[in-house]
Chain A
Amino acid sequence: MQDVRDALYVGQRSDGTLTRRPMSPHLQVYRFRLSMFLSIANRAAGVAAAGGSALGLCWISAAAKGPKSFSKVQKVTGNPLGQMLLAGWALALVYHFVAGIRHLVWDSGYRFSKKEINEDGPVAVGVTVGTTLALVAGILGVAICRSRKKAS
Chain B
Amino acid sequence: MSNLKKPHVTVMRSQLSRARGLGSGQAGVGHWWAERASAVALVPLSGWFVIQVFRLAGASQPEVAKWGARPLNTTMMLSLVILTFYHTQLGLQVIIDDYVHGKAHLPAGLLMKGIVFLLGLFGTVSVLKLALAGSSRGRIAAG
Contact = CB atoms under 8 A, between A and B. Distances in A.
Interface of A: 1-2, 4, 6-8, 10, 12, 18-20, 43, 46-47, 50, 53-54, 57, 60-67, 70-71, 93, 97, 100-101, 103-104, 107, 135, 138-140, 142-147, 150
Contacts of A107: 36
A46 B61 CA distance: 30
B46 A64 contact: no
Contacts of A70: 60-61, 64
A20 B7 contact: yes
Which 5 A-B pairs have CB atoms at the shortest separation, nearest pair first?
Answer: A143-B58, A146-B58, A70-B61, A143-B57, A61-B126
Nearest to B133: A64
Contacts of B126: 57, 60-61, 63-64
A105 B65 CA distance: 38
A43 B95 contact: yes
Interface in B32-64: 36, 39-40, 43, 46, 50, 53-54, 57-62, 64
B92 A47 contact: yes
A64 B68 contact: yes
From DSSP, what is the main secondary structure of chain A's interface residues? helix
A6 B123 contact: no
A20 B54 CA distance: 60
B129 interface: yes
Interface string B10-30: 110101001001100000000
B76 interface: no
B91 interface: yes
15 contacts: A6-B10, A10-B8, A10-B10, A20-B7, A50-B91, A53-B84, A61-B126, A63-B64, A67-B61, A100-B39, A138-B54, A142-B57, A142-B58, A146-B57, A146-B58
A8 B18 contact: yes
Contact of B59 (A1, A20, A101, A146): A146
B51 to A, nearest CB: 11
B142 to A, nearest CB: 20
Nearest to B50: A135
Given A53-B85, A57-B119, A7 B92 contact: no
B119 A71 contact: no
Given A53-B119, A104-B40, A150-B58, 12 more contacts: A6-B10, A7-B9, A8-B18, A12-B15, A19-B7, A20-B7, A50-B88, A50-B116, A60-B127, A62-B61, A63-B64, A147-B58
A7 B50 contact: no
B95 A97 contact: no
B133 A18 contact: no
A139 B49 CA distance: 12
B58 A54 contact: no
